[in-house]
């Protein structure tokens, strides 16, 4: 199990605390420092069963500067969104937990983190 976190994020800290409390074995990836490649983002999206716009923090300054809210949310624009996430990792929703069964969850709630633990 791996968790992508920003240590400054309270949701990330809560998720790590819950994983620790449950005795989970996991690896921490500080994704702002160890930026995921486009291929890694594609793989996580496949595991999540989501599209890149589903995990994009559109209220961030970078998102506003790029005009992301105006970008089409369709298959033809998928790679453009993935490139934006790779070039501006702060836009990636967090925390993301990759579960042992090959799936992943966005662990913004205790319920989602527990769901990842049960997989």
Per the residue annotation, which of 1, 2, 9, 51 is the catalytic one? 9
Contact 92, 45 (CB under 8 A): no
User: Does 12 qualify as catalytic in the annotation?
Assistant: no
* 3-state SS, residue 12: helix
- Report which of 84, 20, 23, 26 is spatially closest to residue 57, judged by C-alpha positions: 84
Alpha-carbon span 27 to 9, nearest angstrom: 17
Q: At what angle do helices 110-117 and 10-21 cross, to 10 degrees?
A: 40
DSSP classification of residue 86: H
Q: Which residues are catalytic?
A: 9
């Amino acid at each position: 199990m791996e968790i992508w976190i920003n240590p400054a994020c309270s949701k990330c800290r809560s998720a790590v605390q819950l994983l620790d409390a449950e005795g989970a074995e996991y690896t921490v990836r500080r994704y702002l420092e160890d930026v995921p490649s486009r291929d890694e983002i594609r793989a996580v999206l496949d595991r999540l069963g989501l599209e890149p716009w589903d995990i994009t923090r559109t209220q961030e300054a970078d998102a506003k500067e790029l005009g992301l809210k105006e970008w089409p949310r369709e298959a033809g624009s998928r790679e453009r969104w993935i490139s934006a996430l790779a070039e501006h990792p702060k836009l990636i929703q967090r925390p993301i937990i990759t579960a042992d069964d090959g799936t992943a969850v966005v662990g913004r709630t205790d319920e989602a983190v527990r769901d990842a633990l049960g997989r």
